[in-house]
Amino acid sequence: MKTPFELFLMPMSTLLLGMLSALLLPAPQFGLQLTRQLVTWFHLNDINQLYTLVFCLWFLLLGAAEYFLIRFIWRRFLRV
């Protein structure tokens, strides 16, 4: 049986890796015309709100991708 610390450490390390990847990999940037369209389409006040949403989604996307990649590598190659 796994200890509670191990159960807590696994998702936290995955989120830390996702955060580091989000800092290292550039987030998507939109052109000025597309940015204005997205701000009006989502009824946002300014561009800062749009990019806050973009960075949050980028962080979650990278964290989830790394989680599944690390889980696949662990189950496929490293687990005895």
Q: Where are the domains of the chain?
A: 29-80
pLDDT band at 80 (very low <50, low <70, confident <90, very high): low
Tally helices (H) and strands (E) across the chain.
3, 0
Share of the chain above pLDDT 70, in %: 95
**Residue carrying structure tokens 């550039």:** 26
**Residue 54 contacts by C-beta under 8 Å, 6 or more apart in sequence?**
27, 28
Tokens of 66: 């790394």
Q: pTM for the whole thing?
A: 0.66
Residue 44 pLDDT:
94
pLDDT digits (tens, 9 = 90+) for 31-55: 999 999 999 999 999 999 999 999 8
